[in-house]
A = this chain, B = another copy of it.
Amino acid sequence: MDLKKLLAPRTVAIVGASEKEGFGGDTCRNVMAYADKDRVYFINPKRETVFGKKCWPTLDSLPEDIDLVVICTPQKTVEDLLRQAAAKGARGAVVYASGYSEVGTPEGKAATESLRALCKELDIALMGPNCAGFMNYIDKVSAFAFISEERDRTGSIGIVSQSGQLCLSLMDSPATGFSYSISAGNCTVVSMEDYLQYLVDDEHTRVIGLYMEGATQPEKFVSALRAAALKRKPVVVLKTGRSEKGSRVAASHTGSLSGADRMYDAMFKKFSVIRVRDLEELLATTQLFATLPALPQSTGFASINLSGGETGMCADVGDMEGIEYPDFSPETIARLKELLPGYASPANPLDTTATISYDADVYASVLQTVMDDPSVGMVVLGYTLLHEIADPAIIYMTEGIEKVAAGGRMKPTAMLPFVESTRNPTYATRLAKAGVPVLPPPLYAFPALRHLRDFIRYKPEEHTLDMAIPAPAGKKEHRTLSEFASASILKEYGVPTPEGGVAKNADEAVALAEKAGYPVAMKISSADIPHKSDMGGVRLGIRNADEVREAFALIMDNAAKNAPGADIDGIYVQKMLAPAGMEVIIGVNNDPQFGPAVLVGLGGIFVEIFRDTALLPAPFGEAEAMAMLESLKAAPLFKGYRGKAPLDMEALARMVANVSRLAAEKRDEIAELDINPVFVYEKGQGVRAADALAVLKA
C-alpha cells in the first residue's frame, strides 16, 4: 500500500463529476478553485464538460493511467469503480459513500469486509468510506466534498480527523494554513495510524493536529509517536473519552486509577504528544507552532500589555497555567524606564500604558529591549485586535513589530487578544506573515503557550521511547497468585521483599524463621485465599521456635476450618518489617492495547481521596521513575517533611523502574500487579514490598 498514490498523486480521476450541489459538484468546484487542474480528469458519461473542463465518459476511456480515483457516486457503484480504477493503474481511492460499518447493521459490516478485501486484492490505499476526503495544499490536490470560501490555506499544519464535521470547523478558521487536511472517515483500509505516520514523515508538515476516537493499531501508533518524538515534530491530539469509564473488564484497587483514557495521557507524556481538550485548543496550539518561525530557545515568557487590567489578566491566567515570567535584568529595567512614561513601573508582566502604542518607533524599542533580555525566550503581546472600534494602535504596533523583525534580533512573539479577534483577518494575516501568530483569548492562549513550553522542555533522550505492546489477548480468565508467588516474581527483578519462604510443616517453618531472624510473620499461602486475615490465616510478631510451631498449627487449623476446599501451598514465613517512614503503593495495569503501565502513589487517603498518583507506560528507567515521584503532590513528604528524616527516594525509584522492567518483559503473562504497601525507609535504608498480589492472564 502506497500512501503517496492516495495523498500526493500525479493524476486524479473524479468519478461522478457534476456541477450540482453534492459530493460530485462540490468536489469539482474545489478542484477548479484549488487544484492543479491539469492532472485531474472529470468522469461523467452524461456530460461533455463540467465547469468548462472536459469530461470523460469512463475511467477506461482516459488517455493515461491514474494514481487516485475519487468516487463521488453511491455505495452500490463503489466496488465496480475500484476495479476499473485499478485497471487504469490507480493505487489510491477516496470513497465518500456511507452505508458501511458506521450504520451498525449486518449489511454494513458485510460491505465493509468486502471493501477491505477488494482493496487488499487490488493493492489500493482507500480513504474512507464515509469520509469528507482530503486537501493536499502542498501539491494542490483537492479531493474534498465541502466547498470553502476561496482563500490560500497553504501552510504547515497537517490535520487528520476521524470526524468530517471537525475537519470543516478547522478549515473554516481564518489565518490558518495547512499542508494536509484529511477527513479519514471509517478508516477501513488506510488507518488513522497510517496517516499519522505519513505526516510525521512529510517534510512540509511542521505540526500535526489529530482528532481521534481511539487507536486500533497500537504498534503503528506508538511507532509514529516515537518517530515524531525523535524528529521533535509536535503532534497535537484531541482524543475524546476522558470522562467515560474505561473498558477494562477486571477492576483492581490500583487498576481503577489507571483506566484506558489515563493510559493515553501517560503515553502521550512519554512521547511529548500534546493533548488538548477541545478543537479550539487544538487549532490555537497547532497554529502557534506553525506560525512561529522558530521555537523559543528558553521557556521564560515576557508579557507586554497596554493597560493594568490586561497585565493583571496575563499575570493571573499565566500563573494558573504555570507560565513563568522571569524578572527583567537591571539593564532592561533601566532602558524601559527611559522609554516608558514616568508613571509606568517596568516589570514582567509589563504594563507599558497605552501611550506607547501610538508610536511605532517607541513600540519597536520597547519590544527590542524586552527581547534583548537574556531571561526572555518568547514575548506575548497583549492587545485585542479591535474590529468595530476605531483605534489606530494596531497600525503602529504592527509597524513596530515589523521593524523589530526586520532588525534581525527578533525572538518568538505571539499576539494575545482579550476578546476573540479572528474577526480582524487583515491584521491577523499581516501579523502571521511577520511570524507572529494571533492567539485566541487567554483561557485558550495560555494553555497553548504551556504546551509550547512543555514541548521545548522535553528531551527525547531522557525518555524510554519503548512501549511493551502485548500480543492480542486470548482467554479472558485471570488467575491470582499467592503472596509468596507474587513476591518471588518481584524478587527475580531485584525488588526487595521480606526475607522468608513457604514452609510445608512446622520444622520447615522454624528453619525459615531462624534463617530470616525473629520476629517473623506467618501467613497462609494459597492462591485460593486472597483475604488471608479474614479466615485467621495470619499471625504477626512471632518471637521464637515455640511460637512458630504454635502459629503453624493454629493457622493450618483455621484454614481447614474456614477454607476447606482451598489448595494450600504451606505457610509463608517472613521476617517482620521494621515500621516504615512512609507507605506507598505501586500498581501495574496491563492495557489490552498498549501494554503495562506502572502507577505509584502514597497509600490510603492520598490515593483514594486526593487521587495523587503518577502513571507511566513500561518500560522506563530510574530517572523517569524519579520524575514520577517528583510529580506527586505529596513529594515533599519524601524529603524530610516537618523535621523528619528524608526518605530513600532513590531506592523507591529503583524499585518502580524494576517493576516497569518486570511488567514490560512479562506483558503477555501478567494482567495486574499490586504492591501494597511498599515500605519506604530513611535515606540509605531502602524500601521493601510488604505485600504483593499478581494476577496472571491465564
- Chain A positions within 8 Å of B, measured between CB atoms, are 102-105, 108, 146-149, 151, 161-166, 168-174, 211, 213, 238, 240-244, 277-281, 283, 306-313, 315-320, 341-343, 354, 384, 386-391, 417-420, 422-423, 440-444, 447, 604-605, 609-610, 633-634, 636-637, 641-642
Complex Cα distance, B86 from A215, in Å, reads 75
19 more CB-based (< 8 A) A-B contacts, given A172-B419, A213-B308, A277-B442: A104-B342, A146-B389, A163-B308, A163-B310, A165-B306, A165-B310, A168-B384, A171-B388, A240-B315, A244-B315, A278-B313, A278-B441, A278-B443, A280-B419, A283-B419, A422-B423, A441-B444, A444-B444, A609-B633
Give the residues in chain B near A146, CB-CB below 8 Å.
389-391
Give the residues in chain B near A165, CB-CB below 8 Å.
306-307, 309-310, 354, 384
Q: How far is the CB of A167 from chain B (nearest CB, A)?
A: 10
Structural contact, B419 and A605, CB atoms closer than 8 A: no
Give the residues in chain B near A317, CB-CB below 8 Å.
277-278
> Which residue of the partner chain B has the closest CB to A283?
B419
Complex Cα distance, B148 from A642, in Å, reads 60
Q: How far is the CB of A614 from chain B (nearest CB, A)?
A: 15
> Can you list 20 contacts pairing A with B, beta carbon distance less than 8 Å?
A105-B342, A146-B390, A147-B390, A151-B388, A163-B310, A164-B307, A165-B309, A165-B384, A166-B418, A174-B388, A240-B312, A240-B313, A241-B312, A244-B315, A277-B320, A279-B419, A440-B441, A604-B642, A605-B637, A605-B641
Q: Which of B169, B213, B238, B440 meets A386, CB within 8 Å?
A: B169
Task: Name the residue in A211, A320, A440, A441 with the highest tally of chain B Cβ atoms < 10 Å from its Cβ.
Answer: A441
Q: How many copies are assembled?
A: 2
> Which residue of the partner chain B has the closest CB to A173?
B419
Structural contact, B172 and A281, CB atoms closer than 8 A: no
Task: Name the residue in A170, A213, A311, A418 with the highest tally of chain B Cβ atoms < 10 Å from its Cβ.
Answer: A418
Structural contact, B168 and A423, CB atoms closer than 8 A: no
Give the residues in chain B near A166, CB-CB below 8 Å.
307, 309-310, 418
Give the residues in chain B near A310, CB-CB below 8 Å.
163, 165-166
Complex Cα distance, B608 from A636, in Å, reads 10
Q: How far is the CB of A132 from chain B (nearest CB, A)?
A: 10
Structural contact, A105 and B354, CB atoms closer than 8 A: no
Q: How far is the CB of A563 from chain B (nearest CB, A)?
A: 23
Counting from the closest, the 3 A-B pairs by CB-CB distance are: A240-B312, A163-B309, A243-B319
Structural contact, A213 and B312, CB atoms closer than 8 A: yes
Structural contact, B420 and A173, CB atoms closer than 8 A: yes
Structural contact, A172 and B388, CB atoms closer than 8 A: yes
Give the residues in chain B near A148, CB-CB below 8 Å.
388-390
Give the residues in chain B near A440, CB-CB below 8 Å.
420, 441
Structural contact, B309 and A162, CB atoms closer than 8 A: yes
Asked, given contacts A163-B308, A443-B443, whether A279 binds B605 with beta carbons under 8 Å apart, the answer is no
Give the residues in chain B near A387, CB-CB below 8 Å.
149, 172
Q: Which of B281, B605, B637 meets A443, CB within 8 Å?
A: B281
Give the residues in chain B near A108, CB-CB below 8 Å.
343
Complex Cα distance, B88 from A512, in Å, reads 107
